[in-house]
Structure formats: structure tokens, C-alpha cells
Amino acid sequence: MLKPHEDDKVQLFSDEDDTSSQSECSEMEDDIKFSLPSNVLFFFGSFCGVTLSVLDLQWNLKWGDDDYYYYEYYYSHYNASTKSLKNKFSLYSCLSIGGAGLLILNAGLDLYRCLCTSKRDHMSLCGGDLRGDTCAAILFGIAATIDLRGALSSTGGPGGVNGVMWLLSSHLYLFSALSAMTSINYRCGSKPVVLNLVGDVMFLIGSLIDVVISYISDPDIISESQNVLLRLALLSSVLWLTDAMLYISANFLVWNRRRQKNKFRGEMIATGLIV
């Protein structure tokens, strides 16, 4: 406990902890052992998405809107005439499968964090801020699982299995983004919370772009150039990646704050101001 003759600096630090900003950051400090590795997984999963979008756009710029060459090259392990690549995954397929797998792990770790928080704080997963985080993790994990199934499927095209699964997954990502927005404390002005909020907005915009693409990529609805669609997909992927970087930046700010606070309390204990 603090001695009655503590100095103003100690009192100021104590008062600061009573604000909503400090309370929110304290919760983020408790969860950082889960949130940091989860956001790293999200970063690498999003990076795979950006790489795939760049490959798609490069191929389109080279060959135009020719899906035959597109699938012939990237899904060549399905082509029996390509002996050297038969039954082997191409780089494109590896990125698709690996990226989806990383996002599944990301969602699983987020859900595990919610379970641990629920147990620690004696809260229901359906109550308070946990409801938004739990729903976001579940929806995100289902969407990523659908993407993984699509990456393993050889049926492409807007009307094929992949097209239907992408339509479904894009909507689930959007619902996940909306759920995540409901768990933000908008009254808290700390930098980590602001970074997370900006990141959530970017993820929401990126997911909304994906939903739009899932509709206008179907020629039966709107006949749009593949080049335009691929550029929009690249924009969405970049927004996801930027979101991941903002999350990680917020994690490091929280980690640095916790380190400084522990150092400060250690100094107070060493000088006898805290017993």
C-alpha cells in the first residue's frame, strides 16, 4: 500500500489509473499475451492475401481477362498434362492455403482469449464487451475456414463452388468486422485504443469492398473488367494488412506502457514509497 507521505508524482500516477483510458489499457495489458501473437498471425495471413492480389493483378496485366491461362498457370497441379507439377501445390495455392490457415489460427487464439477473459473476470461470453469480440472471432474463423475449403477446391469461377464460398465468406468477414466495432470503448482516448479503432474501420472498409466484389464479379449481375475487380481486391488486401500493422503497433504501445509502469512501481518499492 502507499504511504501517506507519497509525493505528487505517485498520486498523479494513481489518479491516472482511475480514468477510463487507463482502465481500458489495463485490460489490454492483461490480454497482450494473447493479442500480440494473434495479431502477428493476422499480419502474415493478410500478407499472403496482398501477395495473392499482386500475383492476380500481374497475371491480368500480362494476359488480360483470360481465365483459361489464369487457372492453367496457378492451378496447374490439377492439369494432368503438366507432369512436373502434377499432384503438387503451386506457389499460388500454397499462399492461398497458408493464408487461410493463419487466419483460422488467428481466430482460434482470439476466441481462446475471450474464454480466458470470461473465466478470469467471471463474465459471460455473451455479456459486455466480450459479446462483440466472441462473435467477431467465431464469424472470422468460419469465414477463414470457408476460404481454406475454397483454396483446396479446383472448381473456380463466379458460378462455381469457389464463387459461392467466396460470396459467403466475404459476408461473414463483414459481419465479423461489425461485431468487432461493437466492443470498442469510444470514450477512451488512449493511443492503443485509437489505433485499434482505426484498424477496425480499415478492416470494415476492406470487408465491404470484398462483399461488393463478390457481387459484381458475377457476369450475370454486372459485367465488370477483371482488371478493375483485381485492383479493388488489392485495395482490400492492403487495408487488411494495414489493419494488422495498426493492431501490432497498439500491442507494442501497451507492452511499453506495462514495462514502464512495472519499472516505476519497482522504483517506488526500492525507495520505500510503496510497501
What DSSP element (H or E) covers 208? helix 191-216
- State the Cα–Cα distance between residues 236 and 170, nearest whole angstrom: 11
Residue 262, C-beta contacts closer than 8 angstroms, at least 6 positions apart = none
How many Cα atoms within 13 Å fall on the side-chain side of residue 111?
Answer: 15
Confidence of residue 10 (pLDDT cuts 50, 70, 90): very low
Pair 132, 74: CB distance under 8 Å? no
Residue in the block written with cell 507439377: 85
Q: How far is CA 16 from the centre of its chain?
A: 31
Q: Is the pLDDT of residue 243 over 70?
A: yes
The set of cell numbers assigned to 46 is 493478410
Q: What is the DSSP string of 232-243?
A: HHHHHHHHHHHH
The set of cell numbers assigned to 63 is 494476359
Q: Per residue in 124-153, pLDDT tens?
A: 887 767 888 999 999 999 999 999 998 887
Helix (H/G/I), strand (E/B), else coil: 2: strand
Q: Per residue in 22-33, pLDDT tens?
A: 555 566 667 788
| Helix/strand/coil percent split, the chain, to 5 | 80, 0, 20
- Quickly count: other Cβ atoms within 10 Å of residue 28's Cβ: 22
Average pLDDT in the 227-252 region? 94
- State the Cα–Cα distance between residues 64 and 59, nearest whole angstrom: 8
- Quickly count: other Cβ atoms within 10 Å of residue 158's Cβ: 18
pTM for this entry: 0.78
Pair 144, 100: CB distance under 8 Å? yes
- State the Cα–Cα distance between residues 80 and 84, nearest whole angstrom: 10
- Please report the pLDDT score of residue 249 as a whole number: 95
Q: Is the pLDDT of residue 238 over 90?
A: yes
Average pLDDT in the 149-174 region? 75
- State the Cα–Cα distance between residues 43 and 108, nearest whole angstrom: 15
- Residue boundaries of the structural domains of the chain: 8-14+25-271
- State the Cα–Cα distance between residues 187 and 171, nearest whole angstrom: 29
Residue 59, C-beta contacts closer than 8 angstroms, at least 6 positions apart = 69, 70, 73, 74
Confidence of residue 265 (pLDDT cuts 50, 70, 90): low
Residue in the block written with cell 509525493: 7
The set of cell numbers assigned to 79 is 492439369
- Please report the pLDDT score of residue 270 as a whole number: 59
Q: What is the DSSP string of 153-175?
A: ----STTSHHHHHHHHHHHHHHH
Pair 61, 242: CB distance under 8 Å? no
